[in-house]
Amino acid sequence: MAEQNWELSKKDILQVADLTRKELTALIQDAIIMKQQTKAGIPHPHLQGKTLGMIFEKSSTRTRVSFEVGMTQLGGHALFLSSKDIQLGRGESIADTAKVLSRYVDGLMIRTFGHEMIEEFAENASVPIINGLTNEHHPMQVLADLMTIYEKKGKLQGLTVAYVGDGNNNMPHSLMEGAAIMGMNMRIASPKGYEPLEAVFQDAKSKAEKLGATVHFTYDPIEAVKEADIVVTDVWTSMGMEAEETERLTAFLPYQVNTALTHYAKEDFIFLHCLPTHRGEEVTAEIIDGNHSVVFDEAENRLHAQKAVLKKLMGNR
């Protein structure tokens, strides 16, 4: 698989929908190449001398480590910026912060709560902005998910992805966008009151239909999982929602991914979870630690998928 000479159509990646089918495919291919190079000990210092600023309002394991290690492997440097430690946390405006940091770094990765914050950064920064996670979107995780599915299944188009859990969250939103762009069938099952954002759902549904695929919502987890190639879930109580934990545990109990539910999936289904997980809540140990689970390959692929993004967004600056 040879590296391709191509450019991204946008300066920033704030959600999966910012990418075209061609761009998503090329990023996955670049990520696989750099993964192979890493395994073989072949250096790929595409960003020598470049610096990525990383602003964190939410705590992180995989996002912070994968971006820092990725920048090191690309020959550059990653700078950790807690929102509590910079002037942003003391009232400096997002616009001023974006303009100042643009004078220092070659790109910014932001992991925060509301999506509107990252959009304001993108409007005011002159360097590329990467969404490391917001409440509404998680594009870097889904890029790694698509890479993992491609590695395990050998294709994307025509496969069926079932997401079971909180539909009004970043993972189902970004998965819908990615699946639709790549011509995959997407099914989401959630309890009442936890449906996906209507705008994201309708946009994904429209894109999928143009490629002969479907995006479908249901309240029935069995309907979602039936004959699925990929089964995905996420924690029932995300960061910032701790006050709702008791209510959520009750609402989502019928949506646990367990042996009884995955019995309806295809025999060779794979299980994905962005981690961290609460074993015994959204998924049982026998599933996440079983033969169908690829969650640690998925976690590793965050590193390589993000390197592909960093290379493209920052490589020509």
Residue 248 CB: number of other CB atoms within 10 A? 21
Can you list the positions of beta strands (E) in the chain? 51-56, 77-82, 107-111, 129-133, 160-164, 185-189, 215-218, 230-233, 270-273
pLDDT classification of 19: cutoffs 50, 70, 90: very high
pLDDT tens-digit series, residues 63-104? 999 999 999 999 999 999 998 888 886 789 999 999 999 999
Residue 1 lies in a domain: no
Residue 317: per-residue pLDDT: 57
State whether 108 and 248 are in the same domain: no
pLDDT classification of 112: cutoffs 50, 70, 90: very high
State whether 188 and 252 are in the same domain: yes
How far apart are alpha carbons 132 and 79 in whole angstroms?
14
Residue (of 82, 229, 256, 81) closest to 162 by Cα position: 229
Residue 6: per-residue pLDDT: 73
Residue (of 198, 288, 268, 282) closest to 228 by Cα position: 268
How far apart are alpha carbons 120 and 273 in whole angstroms?
29
pLDDT tens-digit series, residues 294-312? 999 999 999 999 999 999 9
Catalytic positions, written as ranges? 111, 138, 141, 234, 274, 302
Query: What are the b/e assignments for 256-281, b being 16+ CB within 10 Å?
Result: bbeeebbebbbeebbbbbbbebeeeb
State whether 153 and 291 are in the same domain: yes
State whether 294 and 267 are in the same domain: yes
Task: Specify the number of domains making up the chain.
Answer: 2
Q: Could you list the residues known to form a binding site, using ranges.
A: 60-63, 87, 111, 138-141, 170, 234, 238-239, 274-275, 302
Residue 4 lies in a domain: no
Longest dimension (CA), the chain: 55
In DSSP terms, 187 is beta-bridged to 162, 216
State whether 210 and 277 are in the same domain: yes
pLDDT tens-digit series, residues 43-72? 999 999 999 999 999 989 999 999 999 999
Residue 183 lies in a domain: yes
CATH number at residue 151: 3.40.50.1370
How far apart are alpha carbons 33 and 268 in whole angstroms?
26
Q: Could you list the residues known to form a binding site for carbamoyl phosphate, using ranges.
A: 60-63, 87, 111, 138-141, 274-275, 302
Walk across the sheet containing 230-233 and list its strands.
Answer: 215-218, 185-189, 160-164, 230-233, 270-273
pLDDT tens-digit series, residues 140-199? 999 999 999 999 999 999 999 999 999 999 999 999 999 999 999 999 999 999 999 999
Residue 244 lies in a domain: yes
Query: Distance between terminal CA atoms of the chain?
Result: 26
Q: Say which range, 3-17, 140-154, 193-207, has the weakest mean pLDDT.
A: 3-17
State whether 79 and 148 are in the same domain: no
**Local structure of 150: helix, strand or coil:** helix
Q: Is the pLDDT of residue 4 over 80?
A: no
State whether 95 and 228 are in the same domain: no
State whether 219 and 233 are in the same domain: yes
What's at 51, amino acid-wise?
Answer: T
State whether 147 and 292 are in the same domain: yes
State whether 146 and 285 are in the same domain: yes
Residue 2 lies in a domain: no
Residue 87: per-residue pLDDT: 86
Q: Say which range, 28-42, 84-98, 125-139, 185-199, has the weakest mean pLDDT.
A: 84-98
CB 71 within 8 A of CB 126: no
Residue 58 lies in a domain: yes
Whether the predicted model's global pTM rises above the 0.85 cut: yes
State whether 53 and 97 are in the same domain: yes
State whether 128 and 148 are in the same domain: no
Residue (of 160, 220, 233, 234) closest to 190 by Cα position: 220
CB 31 within 8 A of CB 304: yes
Residue 272: per-residue pLDDT: 98
Residue 8 lies in a domain: no
Residue (of 141, 143, 169) closest to 236 by Cα position: 169
pLDDT tens-digit series, residues 222-263? 999 999 999 999 999 877 778 888 999 999 999 999 999 999
Residue 7 lies in a domain: no
Mean pLDDT for 15-25 is 97
Domain that holds residue 51: 16-137+301-315
- Radius of gyration over every alpha carbon of the chain, rounded to an integer in angstroms: 19
Paired sense of beta strands 129-133 and 160-164, if any? unpaired
How far apart are alpha carbons 241 and 101 in whole angstroms?
30
Residue (of 293, 173, 310, 162) closest to 228 by Cα position: 162
